[in-house]
Every structure is written in structure tokens, then in C-alpha cells.
Amino acid sequence: MIRPIAPQRILNVDLTRGETWAEVVPQEEIVKHLGGRGIAAKLLYQRVPGGIDPLGPENALIIGTGALTGTNAPSSGRTSMLCKSPATGLYLKVSVGGHLGAELRFAGWDHVVITGRSSEPAYLWIRDDQVEIRPAGPLWGQGTRAVDARLKEELGDRAVQTAIIGPAGENRVLFSAILCSRYNGASRGGIGAVMGSKNLKAIAVRGEGGLRVAQGEPFYRLADHMRHELAKDPGTESLYDWGTAGSIPGLNEMGMLAARNFSQVTLEGAELLSGQHLQEHEYLIGRESCFSCSTACHRFVRSLDHRWGKVLDSGPELETVLALGSECGIVDTESALVANRLCNELGMDTISAGHVISWAMETFERGLIDAVVTDGLELRFGSPQVVHEALERIAYRRGDFANLLAQGTRRAAAAVGQDSHRWAIEAKGLEQSAVDTRMAKAYALAFAVNPRGPDHLMTETFAEFGLSKEAREVIRKITGDEKYADPHLTDKRAEIVRWHEDVYGASEALGFCVFTSTAAFAVNPENMAQLMSYALGTPFDEEQLMLGGRRMVTVERCFNVREGARRTDDRLPWRMMNERVPAGPNQGMITDQPMLDGLLDQYYGMHGWDSATAIPRAETLESLGLLELCGDAAA
Amino acid sequence: MEPASLTLEFARCTACMACELACSFYKEGFFAPAFSRIKVVQVYELGVNVPIVCVNCREAPCIPSCPSEAIVRDGPLGTVRIVAELCSACGECVEACPYGAVHIPAGREVALMCDLCGGQPACVPACLYGALSCAGQADAAYAPLELAPGGLDLPEKRWQVAGAVAARLGEAREVEA
Amino acid sequence: MQPTVNITVRLFGLRGGDSRLTRLPTCAPAGFTVSALLAQLRSQAAPTDRLASADPDALLVLVNGRPVQYLQGWETRLGEQDEITFLLKTAGG
């Protein structure tokens, strides 16, 4: 079926009753909530009431493809997956690349809402408008790669796109992931466990249809122009050359490299974890793109001496080599490749897995737990074998200690006690990404207010570093003066975060990779809106686009309010708020409670949320046209 | 005259699918990989991506396979192409092509193959990785390659061709699966 | 004789395609700017060094670990014992 870009179509799946049915999202809703994360957030709000068990049948797993996914809009193949998080009990959106979203679009579906629980292990097979829930008994228990191969064989088509949980998701590890298009992780917040709790082992998609935009020629030309502009950005080039781990040498030189559970900010030998090292020493044998992307930041690598095991796989990304490398005190390339492969196979989030282990290492090194408590794991910094063993045990919940780690750092620290929460690098129950939020203040604010927990994957304010002309121009546009392009300042951080929230949201609603709009800037609100206008064939401007972003951020806040979240939950990990940067150019910096309070006051004020509780006011919801949807959460 | 074809640098292909989007948009006016004359096969196991497309074989088996004589070689580049008005969508050419470069999309009553867009292939500028260029030598793209055995369905045939290219590339890099 | 300062230049990824860190203890005239230092390094670089060909906009320049954007930009003046690091800019993560 060749269909127009609007209306959008929802595939509803009730796994309890074994039923599927279609629904339509009319154009007015698209103009208001855009698509992707925006529509999905609205659906989550409507379908998942407050207080339900995230691992119960009432939780919904919602896939939202971008409004422009499947077109030649550059790097527009990103897909959002939403649910209530079992790790935090709050709103969760994860973003994933690869080719799954595009395949869904060509199959004729823009969103998939999965509720209920299958009585037996099952997989969902979507072939254009034919949808089946099929038995997955023989697949249960297997690693993600084996399942991918078996599904493609069973379905007789190797071009099928898949989304698969591994043993970690089946065992409801609270940081288990869904592996899409083989090695793209929809990873954080325990989304894999939600899929596992529904007895859903996999989703397979094949789409032979197409998409028509209203004004084809101008759309194609503008998208092509944007693609070329993006290619000229040095940031884009560096991503092609070295991938995301290309930032490692710079981070280390700037004293911003998280090491040894964030107790250090530099690490000798960290360049062995870098993307440059992978390329020069021939670990790197290929570069991979997501659908429609001309950056190709993904790596394909092999191990060389295989000292920790054999690897021929995609990855590793920056946060992965930080979490499972430097944070564990390990600067061994082969170890990082194996750890990444294990997380891919077992289906686990590398950021959380790494930080749970690094927390356990610090706890062990401090003598609060010993090898008896850890079921024999000698959890010292710098031990690759222990990391690999721990990952396996966690995925299978082998032994009491691994079972505890599988619940995430917050619960593990609560169980061990003895102030071990002080080095749990988490907030809201989600482990923090390895960005030093003591020295980058817009990052600090963005992380604290992130509805899913403290990471960079809801709102990343990279421009505040002002390292390029384009970044400084963005800061000037937001704040009126380039001088605010300095991460150490607290002034204007709320303005910077709010702009990035809206742009991030709009990007994710349309399907754009946020590297194109917030790390490079060739994709911007103006040209995104213009593309939407050409696609829909009706006027659509920058203001509407940013409003769409603002709405989804507000809906997400309201979801959390309904779950009981308040201002006090908007915080950073204890270490970031209580221990100063120990060394390097940022030595002494900290984001303590008074500083965070100042930032939060500005931010809530600008949003029109009650300052004491962080609950949106009714008049704010009214002004965004959200009173009907979210009025039950209003102050 | 040496017929020209697309030259394919497999090592540069990242599976972004910009070529498929450019092709379907240029030829059909919408975005649909299923209607693209170039198809990228991802050999995930080896991290190699293989565009499958007509390479204007010097001895093109599709031409004699057509019972309606709908496949001709003409034009300044000696391009093999399908004359749509004569095509009955019988599928003989799909079967005859050793590389899986001809297909009939669902709901369409004509076979599709790349005709180099009359000389300015739309896919070439769309690929920013330089994996595609024009005016190479015919047959060069997949040679040397043992022709896939007959009787395979189209997806399986494409997979075999892609797998062979990927294995060859892997050998050159000393990569063992 | 013009007063000089002892500095260390750290180059990452800019020497003949090798991304190892190159450390060059050296002297510079007192008050030398980062811009002048770069010009001098480029004049001494082999043609194959990325240092010779890299667009200055693509360089991340640090003085004692601080991006020069937070100092006086290209006009930042070098002092005794300063460490000046040149890398190629990266993005994303």
C-alpha cells in the first residue's frame, strides 16, 4: 500500500485476548503532537493509568516511528519505544536506530501499542497489514542473535526486521534491553523486562509498501540539501571516522572522563578505549548506518587476539566503553568488545550494567562486601574477567548477589546499606550517563529534570560547551549572548534546557537522530518544520513544531506527577551533589542542592509549573491545549 | 561498445538505503524500497552490506528469457532495460537474472530493473559514502562470482549473492565468521 | 634575548594518521598566542600530518585542559609550564 504521510496508523495488540486492531491518528493530532515520541507519549498517558505494576499486563509497550521516518529526510530513521519503567516506576522513553521503524512504516504502521500478557511465550509477526501472534516456545531462553537467525529462517526472509529480548529481558533484569535490527539497543530503564513480562520474545516486521509526501519535489530537494549540509559538519565527519567513542581522548584531556565509578575524571591509557584506537589498530572493519543516515556513526568490529573471547559484532559506543571500561577501571580494548557483545547477546543496557558493576566494585574495594557475599566474584576495579562473569550472572540471575545487582544500583545500595548509596551513580532509580554533571550546568539541570532519570538521552545540551560557531550561534539565539556558551555558568541554563527539550522532542517526534539537531546543527527547527509542511501539504511552522516538543515534555511530566513524582525526585546522584571534582581543570566544581534549587526554580518558573511540587498548573496545561488530556495531574 | 554499469564499492556501503529512497522517489514519485531497482542486502554476520542492482551483463541472460521480447539493449550506455508496455510480468527474467537484480513488486504488473535513469542515475549522488559510481565496466561489480543455482526464490538468490560478496570481502580483510 | 616560556604541546591524532598522543616539550616566546603556536607547528609539520591540513575550525584546542573558547580564543597567550593540546573535534555520544 502506498499511503500518504498523514493520517498515521496505530496497530493495537492485546496479548491477553490475542487480538489486534487498527486505529487512525487524524491530521489535527499530528499537527498537535507531531508523531513518534509525541503521539506515543499521549497514548501512554491515555492507556496506562497511574499506579499500575510496570511488570504486569496493564503496562503498555508503545513503539512510535517518526513522522518522517521512511523518507529521504536525513538521519530520520530513529524510533521511540515507551512504557512505564520497572526500574524507576516512572515514564520511560527509549530511542533506537537501525531499520525497524522504517520497515514498520513501509508495512503501513506508524505506532504499535502492545498491552496485556500472552499466556505462552509469543512473537508478533507483522507483514504489511497481516498481523499474527505466533508461539515462541522454542525461542525462549535463547540469545538475541540466535533468535534473529531462527526467526529469519522460520519466516523465510532474511530482510525481516526484528526486535528481540534476550535472557535478561526474560528474567526481568531491571536494565534489560530490546535489541532491534540485530544490534541496535532499545536499552534503558528496563524496557526489555516489560517485553519479557508480557511473554513477548520478539517482534518481526516486513513492509513492502511505501510513503507519499504531499509536495514531493520540494521535500526531496530540501531533505537532500540538509543531508549535504550535515555532511560538511566536522562533528559528522568525526562520527564517521571514529564513532561516538572518538570523544574519549578529548574527554580525558579535559578532565571529564568518568573513571572508577566516577571517583576519577581522568584515566591513564584511556585512549585504548577510543574510536581512534579501534580504527588504527584494525579492530574496525566496517561502518554502519541507521536508515536514511549519511553519518554512519555505528561501528562493526572484530577482536584481534581474542584474549577475552571472540568478537565480530557492532559497537561499542562511547557510553559503553565508559561504563564497562573506564568506570570499571579497565582500559583494555578486547575486554570492551567482549563486554559489549555480551550485552548485545544477553539483551542488557550497557550504561546501567556497567554502573551497577562499578558500584559493586567500589563497595567491594571499600570492604563493605566480600567474596562470600558476592558468591565468589572478586569485584575489584580493573578486572575484565569479573565484568564478563558478572554480566552473565546478572542476565540469568545466578546467585543471590547477581540477583540483587539485576535490580539496579538503587535497590542494591538500599539492600547493602552502610551509606553505599553515596557512590550509587543513579537518581530516580536509573544509572546516570558518564557525563560530569558537576561541571556542565545545563547538563546538570537537564539530567535532574529528565523524566526517565539522569541521562543525556532526553535532552542533551551539547551547545552549552560552545565548541563550534554553530553551537555558539544556537546559544546566542536562545539567550541573546554568545557569552553564555560556557558550561560552568548557572545563568540562562533554564532557557538553554528548555530550547533543547523542545528541539529534542521535535526531533524524536519526526524521527531525526538528535546528533543532527543538537550535536551538529544542520537539522534545525526551521527546516524540520518546512519538511513537515511539504510532507503534509499544509502550512506548518517552527512555532508549531516547538509547541509540539513542549507538549510532549509536559505530558511526560504529568505522567510522572500521576505516579507520585515531585520536585524532590528531580535530583542528581549523591556523588555529583556532594563530592567535588577531584582533579583536573574542573577541580572543585560541584552541583550541590542550593545550586540545583536555583536552577530548578528558574526551570519550573519558565515552564509554568508549581515551584514547590513541580506540578504543572492548570492554566499552563490550558495554554498548551492539554487540559483535557492531562487535567487529572494538574496542580 | 562496452556497455556501462554502476560500479559498486561494497566496502563503503553502510546500508543507509539512500540509494533505494532516491531510486523509488525518482522513478515512482514515492518512497518505497520495494519499488527500488537497487536493493541493499545486509549481511549482518560479517558487517558487510551489498547493493544488488542490474549491471548490464555483456551476455545478459534476461534478454533471451523474455517470451514477449520486452527486454532490449539500447541507448548510449548500452543499457539493458525493460520495455514496460510489452512486459506481461511472467517472471522469467526474475528467474534468469543470476544476481537477483530484477523483481516484480506486489501489485505491479511489470518487472523492474535498473536502466541507469537514462544516463544520470539518481542513486549515485544520493550515496554520500561514494559506494556508487557510474560508467564502470559491465559485469565487473559482482565478478568473479559463481552464478547462483537456478530455482531459488528471489530473496534467497539475493542473499546468496550478497553472502558470496561478503565472504570475499571478509577473506580480503582476514575476517573469520 | 627575548624571554621564553617552557611549554608542552600535546598532539592527538594529528601526526601522520597516528592517533597516539605526541608530547613535545618546547619553548615559545613569552606572550606567544595559541594562533601563532599553531602556525609555527604547521610550518614544521610534514605534509602527511593532519596538523598541516586540518581546518582550524575542526580543531579542539585546550590550554591546561580548558578549551580556548573559555579563555581568549585563538589570542590566548601562553605562560610558563602551560600544556597546550590539539585534537580534532568530535561530537555525539
d(CA A12, CA A435): 38
User: Is the C-alpha dihedral spanning C4, C7, C11, C16 positive or negative?
Assistant: positive
Is residue B151 one of the residues assigned to a domain?
Answer: yes
Contact list in C for residue A456 (CB cut-off 8 A) is 93
Residue of A nearest to C65 (CA): A254
φ, ψ of residue A409 to 5 degrees: the values are: -65, -40
CB contact under 8 A, A456 and C10: no
Residue of A nearest to C86 (CA): A250
Residue of B nearest to A213 (CA): B30
d(CA B19, CA B133): 12
| CA A533 to the chain's CA centroid | 28
The number of domains in chain C is 1
DSSP output for B78-139? TEEEE-GGG-----HHHHH-TTS--B--TT-SS-B---GGGGS-THHHH-TTS-EEEEEETT
Angle between helices A542-562 and A36-47 (to 10 degrees): 30
Segment A466-489 mean pLDDT: 96
- What ipTM is given for this predicted complex? 0.96
Predicted pLDDT at C13: 79
State percent of chain B over pLDDT 70: 92
Predicted pLDDT at A516: 96
Contact list in A for residue B30 (CB cut-off 8 A) is 2, 210-213, 216
Burial of residue B120 (number of CB atoms within 10 Å: 0-12, 13-18, 19+): exposed
Residue A174 exposure: Cα atoms within 13 Å on the Cβ side: 23
DSSP output for A363-388? HHHTTSS-TTTTTT----TT-HHHHH
Predicted pLDDT at B105: 95
d(CA A416, CA A373): 10
d(CA A631, CA A465): 38
Segment A441-450 mean pLDDT: 98
Burial of residue A598 (number of CB atoms within 10 Å: 0-12, 13-18, 19+): middle
What structural domains does chain A harbor?
Answer: 2-212 (3.60.9.10), 244-423 (1.10.569.10), 441-633 (1.10.599.10)
Q: Cβ atoms within 10 A of the Cβ of A597, count?
A: 12
CA distance C4 to chain A (A): 24
A211 touches chain B (CB under 8 A): yes
- Parallel, antiparallel, or unpaired: how do β-strands C83-88 and C4-12 relate? parallel
Q: Are A346 and A143 in contact (CB under 8 A)?
A: yes
Predicted pLDDT at B149: 63
User: In this predicted structure, which of A225-229, A371-375, C11-15, C31-35 has the lowest mean pLDDT?
Assistant: C11-15
Is residue C11 one of the residues assigned to a domain?
Answer: yes
A106 touches chain B (CB under 8 A): yes
pLDDT digits (tens, 9 = 90+) for B110-167: 999 999 998 899 999 999 999 999 867 767 778 666 666 667 889 989 999 999 999 9
**Looking at chain A, which subunits does it touch, using at least 3 CB pairs closer than 8 Å as the criterion?**
B, C
Predicted pLDDT at B96: 93
Rounded alpha-carbon distances, angstroms, from residue A476 to A234, A494, A515: 21, 14, 20
Is residue C35 one of the residues assigned to a domain?
Answer: yes
Per the structure, the complete domain to which residue C65 belongs is given by 4-88
- The type of residue at C46 is A
**Nearest residue to A178 (alpha-carbon basis) of A433, A58, A299, A348:** A348
Q: What is the mean pLDDT of chain A?
A: 97
Residue A261: pLDDT over 60: yes
Predicted pLDDT at A443: 98
d(CA B36, CA B126): 13
Is residue C93 one of the residues assigned to a domain?
Answer: no
CA distance A561 to chain C (A): 30
Rounded alpha-carbon distances, angstroms, from residue B46 to A478, B15, B16, B17: 45, 13, 17, 18
Q: Are A23 and A46 in contact (CB under 8 A)?
A: no
Is residue B65 one of the residues assigned to a domain?
Answer: yes
Predicted pLDDT at B177: 61
d(CA C33, CA C26): 14
**CATH number of the CATH domain containing C73:** 3.10.20.30
Is residue B161 one of the residues assigned to a domain?
Answer: yes
Grid cell listed for B156: 534467497
d(CA A558, CA A552): 10
d(CA B30, CA A171): 43
Model confidence band, residue A246 (pLDDT cutoffs 50, 70, 90): very high
**Nearest residue to A506 (alpha-carbon basis) of A542, A541, A548:** A548
Model confidence band, residue C16 (pLDDT cutoffs 50, 70, 90): low
Task: List the single residue in A250, A255, A466 with the smallest CB-CB distance to C90.
Answer: A250
Predicted pLDDT at A29: 95
Angle between helices A593-607 and A441-449 (to 10 degrees): 70
**CATH number of the CATH domain containing B72:** 3.30.70.20
The DSSP secondary-structure symbol of A480 reads: S
d(CA A488, CA A496): 13
CB contact under 8 A, C87 and A485: no
Segment A285-302 mean pLDDT: 97
Model confidence band, residue C17 (pLDDT cutoffs 50, 70, 90): low
Segment A56-65 mean pLDDT: 98
* Residue partners of B156: CB distance under 8 A and separation at least 6: none
Per the structure, the complete domain to which residue B131 belongs is given by 4-172
Chains A, B: CB pairs < 8 Å: 99
DSSP output for A295-357? S--EEEEE-SS-BTB--EEE---HHHHHHTTGGGT---HHHHHHHHHHHHHHTB-HHHHHHHH
Predicted pLDDT at A86: 98
d(CA A528, CA A503): 10
CB contact under 8 A, B31 and A212: yes
φ, ψ of residue A354 to 5 degrees: the values are: -60, -45
Segment A538-560 mean pLDDT: 98
Segment A340-353 mean pLDDT: 98
User: In this predicted structure, which of A526-530, A556-560, C56-60 has the lowest mean pLDDT?
Assistant: C56-60
Residue B75: pLDDT over 90: no
The number of domains in chain B is 1
Q: In a 3-state reduction of DSSP, which class is residue A489?
A: coil
Is residue C56 one of the residues assigned to a domain?
Answer: yes
Model confidence band, residue B170 (pLDDT cutoffs 50, 70, 90): confident
CA distance B35 to chain A (A): 8
Q: What angle do CA A494, A499, A504 make, to 5 degrees?
A: 125
* B6, containing H or E segment: strand B4-8
CB contact under 8 A, B18 and A72: yes
Predicted pLDDT at A5: 95
Q: Which residues of C touch A (CB under 8 A)?
A: 10, 12-13, 17-21, 55, 57-58, 60, 62, 64-67, 69-70, 85, 87-93
Quote the radius of gyration of chain B (alpha carbons, Å).
Answer: 15
State percent of chain A over pLDDT 90: 99
Q: Are C68 and A446 in contact (CB under 8 A)?
A: no
Predicted pLDDT at B174: 76
d(CA B84, CA B81): 9
B28 touches chain A (CB under 8 A): yes
A216 touches chain B (CB under 8 A): yes
Predicted pLDDT at B171: 84
Is residue C64 one of the residues assigned to a domain?
Answer: yes
Is residue C31 one of the residues assigned to a domain?
Answer: yes
φ, ψ of residue A185 to 5 degrees: the values are: -90, 125
Is residue B177 one of the residues assigned to a domain?
Answer: no
Residue A620: pLDDT over 60: yes
CA distance C71 to chain A (A): 10
pLDDT digits (tens, 9 = 90+) for A451-477: 999 999 999 999 999 999 999 999 999
Predicted pLDDT at B143: 66
| Strands of A370-460, DSSP E | 426-427, 430-431
Model confidence band, residue A419 (pLDDT cutoffs 50, 70, 90): very high
